[in-house]
Amino acid sequence: MSTNQIVKKDDIVVRFAGDSGDGMQLSGTLFSDASALTGNDIATFPDYPAEIRAPHNTIAGVSGYQVHVGSHIYSSGDKCDILVAMNPASLKSNMKWAKKGATVIVDIDTFTDEALEKAGYKENPFTDEMERDYTIVKAPVTSFTSRIGQEQGADKKTADKCRNMFALGIIFYMTHKTLDQTFAYLERKFAKKPDVVKLNKAVLTEGYEFADKLEVVHGHIFEVAKATEMPKGRYRNITGNVATAWGLLAAAERSGRRLFLGSYPITPATDVMVELAKNKGLGARVFQAEDEIAGICSAIGASYAGALACTSTSGPGLSLKSEALGLAVMTELPLVIVDVQRGGPSTGLPTKTEQGDLNQALYGRNGEAPLIVVAASSSANCFYWAYTAAKLALEHMTPVILLTDGYLGNGSQLFRIPKVADLPSITPRLAKPNDPNYRPFRRDPETFAREWALPGMEGLRHRVGGLEKCPDGPLSTDPENHALMTYNRQEKVNRVANYIPDQEVTGNPDADLLVVGWGGTSGALTLAVEEMNNEGKKVAYTHFNYICPLPKNTGDILRKYKKIVVCELNNGQFLGYLRTKFPECPMHQYNKIMGLPFEVGELKECFTKILGE
């Protein structure tokens, strides 16, 4: 290609869509990995159905993967510049995500009458209007792939599995990238299957060359700017769930405690357990329990016995764990509960993202049962928030709920690799064997945390349990004692505020409007605020990771702004929480409950409207 055909862009969004099983998640991952390895900043967002293989060619079976690449990426992007649609159903359900003017690549071989009907098309989808507004590439993906398969003696099923490589080849051409990274991946992944490597490479190359011969894409080839502002260091691509698992491993190593995870499979949290199960070699003690309740109860037992104990789950699983959470509060044992939130209530939208579990995390227990709640705000920082959750649990002797969500957990991002030794130290509050003054509920005067005496330690035999105890350890139903112990448990959590940093404000601090967010929405919110300020509007932004307790300066920040809007992917749970704490601050709300992350466009529209009121 001649270089004058290439359009330079700060960022582009590519969306891969196909039938479940078409390999769209893999295509997306390979594209994002190759982009990251060649110097782009990236963020990805898998959008897949709950069914493993829904009926072929139906909307229900469409699986998508969006990749945002560029110089400085906050989120997986709103709408795409390039859409790959491997069948009519994917085109039908994904056209709404294509920008006007986008390039749309379809496998034209799949556009049979039958498939069109199954997708709900009554007529030819390629209307004049569509041909005018978009660049349509009708690629014979299936037939080309079959031909190569035949040439190499592969059966049809094996050849069909490579269709995604053809599409990926086109995308690499259109984003002005080489195939080297993916070749290396194939050689590594199928080291023992040279036939598979050969076939996939051939199909990938064929797709690339196919695009080279296409007149229609010329002028639509993008060279995306490399990341320039990234701090120096060693980088990798990481998903939120893997980052969470690694953060827990790092915390175990740094604190000198064994890592225990008791868990039960649940979408979209399962990958936390999967990742830790791979790492028994690093001492991760993983137990797949018979149910959610046994998951948390085994973790509570492990905590009593001295492990950095964790359990991972999603909304309905957290509901099942509620009673045991109360036990962890009552026994004042360190415990990390990871909730990778999904659409609720009940089974809800298992593969879609939402922030609907905040109230459950804050209040979902019987009695006065305070605990720490923190939330990660990017796929990569799941590592730090998992680490922080473990640190707080071990140092303050309390359960900590870490809220992430399906978007963060499954999405990926660049991660600047830290050295474990550079992470903040973790000092578990271990009791001293044979300490004659040991009492199960003797507290540190500053933190109010009790000491952790482990079975096996000499001279510290004691009993814990769900019944109310007095500070010395034995059971007590004394009214004054219950009031005291309730106060102590609350005060212990309140005092965590003394150990966390102040809340920060970004954007324009002298703005008229303060945007408030928490958890997994920071990508879209950051970009929306940045764009508004670039456009001359004055908008400030504060994003919460410490939810309970809140940073001590929260009220000071909120009281400074005339207008506040709290944005979250639920019906206003954080808003309600803030209103209870700061009733003097009037607050607007912006909510979305569609199982999808925020889009920058809708946020800016909302902020503009509030500014104009």
Partner 1 sequence: MAKRHFVPKADKEYTKADFTSDQMVKWCPGCGDHAILSSLLNTFPKTGHKKENICMVSGIGCSSRIPYYVDTYGFHSIHGRACAIATGVKLANPALSVWVSMGDGDSMAIGGNHLIHAVRRNQDFNITIFNNEIYGLTKGQYSPTTKFGQITKTSPFGTIDYPFNPGELVMGAQGTFFARSLDCVPPLTSQVMEAAAKHDGTSVVEVLQNCMIFNDKTHAAITDRAVRDDRTIVLENGKPMIFGKEKNKGIRFNGRCLEAVTIGENGITIDDILVHHEDTEDTGIHMMLARMSGDLPVALGVIRNINKPSYTELYEDQMDECMANSKYKCVDDLLNSGDTWEV
Scan for tokens 């964790």, then name that residue. Answer: 310
Nearest to 389 by CA among 447, 429, 336: 336
Q: CB of 360 within 8 A of CB of 316?
A: no
Q: Name the minimum Å distance from CB 520 to partner 1.
A: 22
How far apart CA 205 and CA 54 sit, in angstroms, is 30
417 binds partner 1 (CB under 8 A): yes
89 binds partner 1 (CB under 8 A): no
Q: Residue from 158, 279, 359, 608 that binds partner 1 (CB under 8 A)? A: 279
Enter the tokens of residue 239: 């998903």
Q: Residue from 212, 253, 435, 530 that binds partner 1 (CB under 8 A)? A: 253
How many residues appear in the chain? 613
How far apart CA 28 and CA 250 sit, in angstroms, is 28
Q: Name the minimum Å distance from CB 358 to partner 1.
A: 25
Nearest to 104 by CA among 165, 46, 146, 167: 167
Nearest to partner 1 of 290, 584 (CB atom):
290
Q: Residue from 133, 160, 223, 323 that binds partner 1 (CB under 8 A)? A: 323
Nearest to partner 1 of 141, 248 (CB atom):
248
* Contact characters 471-490, partner 1, x per CB under 8 A: ---xx---------------
Q: Residue from 282, 424, 487, 601 that binds partner 1 (CB under 8 A)? A: 282
303 binds partner 1 (CB under 8 A): yes
Nearest to partner 1 of 330, 575 (CB atom):
330
Stretch that binds partner 1, among 63-71, 109-117, 253-261, 576-584 (CB under 8 A): 253-261
Stretch that binds partner 1, among 165-173, 195-203, 231-239, 590-598 (CB under 8 A): 231-239
310 binds partner 1 (CB under 8 A): no
Task: Using the Cα atoms of residue 376, residue 379, residue 382 and residue 384 in order, give the sign of their dihedral.
Answer: negative
Nearest to 203 by CA among 237, 236, 172, 249: 172
Stretch that binds partner 1, among 85-93, 203-211, 226-234, 509-517 (CB under 8 A): 226-234
Q: Residue from 21, 348, 364, 418 that binds partner 1 (CB under 8 A)? A: 418
Q: Name the minimum Å distance from CB 52 to partner 1.
A: 26
463 binds partner 1 (CB under 8 A): yes
Q: CB of 97 within 8 A of CB of 69?
A: no
Q: Name the minimum Å distance from CB 565 to partner 1.
A: 35
Nearest to partner 1 of 215, 458 (CB atom):
458
Q: Residue from 225, 250, 375, 575 that binds partner 1 (CB under 8 A)? A: 250
Residues 16-35 that bind partner 1 (CB under 8 A): 33
Q: Name the minimum Å distance from CB 308 to partner 1.
A: 9
Nearest to partner 1 of 39, 140 (CB atom):
39
How far apart CA 412 and CA 409 sit, in angstroms, is 8
Q: CB of 597 within 8 A of CB of 45?
A: yes
Nearest to partner 1 of 196, 457 (CB atom):
457
Scan for tokens 């001649």, then name that residue. Answer: 2
Q: Residue from 458, 510, 584, 613 that binds partner 1 (CB under 8 A)? A: 458
Number of residues that bind partner 1 (CB under 8 A): 69
End-to-end Cα distance, the chain: 52
Nearest to 213 by CA among 490, 1, 531: 1
Q: Residue from 6, 320, 430, 454 that binds partner 1 (CB under 8 A)? A: 454
Q: Residue from 462, 482, 495, 560 that binds partner 1 (CB under 8 A)? A: 462
Q: Residue from 50, 293, 596, 610 that binds partner 1 (CB under 8 A)? A: 293
How far apart CA 560 and CA 574 sit, in angstroms, is 19
Nearest to partner 1 of 262, 549 (CB atom):
262
Strands 11-19 and 62-70: antiparallel
336 binds partner 1 (CB under 8 A): no
How far apart CA 413 and CA 408 sit, in angstroms, is 9
Q: Residue from 144, 304, 546, 577 that binds partner 1 (CB under 8 A)? A: 304
Stretch that binds partner 1, among 84-92, 458-466, 498-506, 565-573 (CB under 8 A): 458-466
Type of residue numbered 323: E
424 binds partner 1 (CB under 8 A): no
Q: Name the minimum Å distance from CB 418 to partner 1.
A: 7
Q: Residue from 122, 132, 213, 419 that binds partner 1 (CB under 8 A)? A: 419
Q: How far is CA 299 from the centre of its chain?
A: 23
467 binds partner 1 (CB under 8 A): yes
Q: Residue from 233, 256, 345, 601 that binds partner 1 (CB under 8 A)? A: 233
> HEC states along 106-148?
EEHHHCCHHHHHHHCCCCCCCCHHHHHHCEEEEECHHHHHHHH
Q: CB of 56 within 8 A of CB of 115?
A: no
Q: Residue from 174, 289, 394, 558 that binds partner 1 (CB under 8 A)? A: 289
Nearest to partner 1 of 21, 418 (CB atom):
418
DSSP one-letter code for 305: T
Phi–psi pair at 353, nearest 5 degrees: -95, 155
Nearest to partner 1 of 60, 420 (CB atom):
420
Phi–psi pair at 598, nearest 5 degrees: -65, 150
Q: Quick count: other Cβ atoms within 10 Å of Cβ 564?
A: 24
Type of residue numbered 145: T
Nearest to 176 by CA among 29, 4, 22: 4
258 binds partner 1 (CB under 8 A): yes
436 binds partner 1 (CB under 8 A): no
DSSP one-letter code for 437: T
Q: What is the dihedral of CA 210, 215, 216, 218, to 10 degrees?
A: 90
Q: CB of 300 within 8 A of CB of 289?
A: no
How large is the greatest C-alpha to C-alpha distance in the chain, in angstroms?
86
256 binds partner 1 (CB under 8 A): no
Nearest to 523 by CA among 353, 326, 268, 387: 353
170 binds partner 1 (CB under 8 A): no
Q: Quick count: other Cβ atoms within 10 Å of Cβ 60?
A: 13
Stretch that binds partner 1, among 130-138, 162-170, 244-252, 570-578 (CB under 8 A): 244-252
In the complex, the residues that contact partner 1 under the rule CB under 8 A are: 33, 36-37, 39, 227, 230-237, 246, 249-250, 253, 258, 260, 262, 279-283, 285, 287, 289-291, 293-294, 297-307, 309, 323-324, 326-327, 331, 417-420, 454-467, 474-475
